[in-house]
Amino acid sequence: MFLIAGEALIDMVPTRDGAYLPVAGGAPYNFARALALQGLPATYANPLSEDAFGTLLEQGLTAAGVQYAGRKSNRPTSLAFVSTDEHGHPHYSFYRQGVADRDVDAEALIALDSEQVSGFHTGGLALVPPDDRCVLAAAHHFRRRGVLCTADINMRPQVAASLGIAQTHYRDAAVEVIGSADIVKVSDEDLHHLGYMEAPEIAASSLLERGPKIVVLTLGSAGAWAISADDQVFEPAQKVTVVDTVGAGDSFFAGFIASLDGQGQLTAARHRAPPGSALKRALLRAAVCAAINIGRPGCQPPTREEAERWLAIHPQKP
């Protein structure tokens, strides 16, 4: 079972008539839903608000088959107002002060540990100081116990700036979390925000020196790489008509993790990277999951059956 820690918020999505539609979101929250829909047991750990939006978030977890293990908070739900550019890429304005999903500490996360926990995941806004201290302490606890740790870096420098956090402090926090994880996902944009100016593949490879066994590098429509000490494997993006890209990265990473688990390679990744052939299959599953999500409005991760049906309908060339 994967324990997932990080933000759960409401994306306020604009409609054609100028109103806003509240949609459950947040990168770790979306990852929890996407992972459960791919057939892996997932538990969401952060508090949810007692307000109506908190109820909406909890309903979203339940509908996807995610166990909710957090507590109720009397703080309000975090909000993110969303706009998309002409390519369907989302842009966010966050409201993160005094909110429910930040009403947590490392002790509360560690208290959720049990024999059933085989993976710990974090990322997104949980890496913005001072919240990074909480998830970092939890990750250290789980790694000492031999639990696989994963992180989706998902840099959001505008959030750090809005909270008065220096960008150098934020970058240092993200790099420290990278060093605490066994499998790390970054995008080319993340690497830029982390201060890497060289080619993305070279920058991603250098992250292995900090401790991860696998670095997954996403390049949007240009495809993705899975990089280990022994292999560098590429998979092109699947062709799909883009509705928007909200939740694409979360669906992608969930598909990658689910594929490794299905191949019997996930637990072993705590100690060594799977072979290149397993990474290639995982990237394909990840690309399919992202494509299905991209073809739908908002974050609607596919089920395992939907991903398998896509692969059956779209046979891959060798």
Judge whether 94 and 163 are in contact, CB under 8 Å. Answer: no
- Rounded to whole angstroms, how far apart are CA atoms 264 and 266? 6
* pLDDT reported for residue 255: 98
* pLDDT reported for residue 315: 72
Residue whose tokens read 């019997």: 264
Residues of the chain with pLDDT > 90: what percent? 84
Q: Taking the C-alpha atoms of 135, 137, 139 and 141 in order, what is their torsion angle to the nearest 10 degrees? A: -150
pLDDT bucket at 89, cuts 50 / 70 / 90:
low
* pLDDT reported for residue 107: 97
- Domains of the chain (ranges, CATH numbers): 2-313 (3.40.1190.20)
9-23, 113-127, 214-228: lowest mean pLDDT where? Answer: 9-23
- Rounded to whole angstroms, how far apart are CA atoms 78 and 113? 26
Partner residues linked to 151 by β-bridges? 122, 184
* pLDDT reported for residue 137: 98
Tell me how long the chain is. Answer: 318
pLDDT tens for residues 227-276? 999 999 999 999 999 988 889 999 999 999 999 999 999 988 899 999 99
* pLDDT beyond 70 at 170: yes
Q: What's phi and psi for 257, nearest 5 deg?
A: -65, -40
- Cβ burial, residue 19 (10 Å; 0-12/13-18/19+): exposed
The larger pLDDT score, comparing residue 88 to residue 110, is at 110
- Rounded to whole angstroms, how far apart are CA atoms 157 and 167? 7
pLDDT bucket at 90, cuts 50 / 70 / 90:
low
pLDDT bucket at 318, cuts 50 / 70 / 90:
low
pLDDT tens for residues 176-207? 999 999 999 999 999 999 999 999 999 999 99
Residue 206 C-alpha from the chain's centroid: 21
pLDDT tens for residues 285-310? 999 999 999 999 889 999 999 999 99
Residue whose tokens read 């883009």: 242
45-54, 81-90, 120-129: lowest mean pLDDT where? Answer: 81-90
* pLDDT reported for residue 93: 82
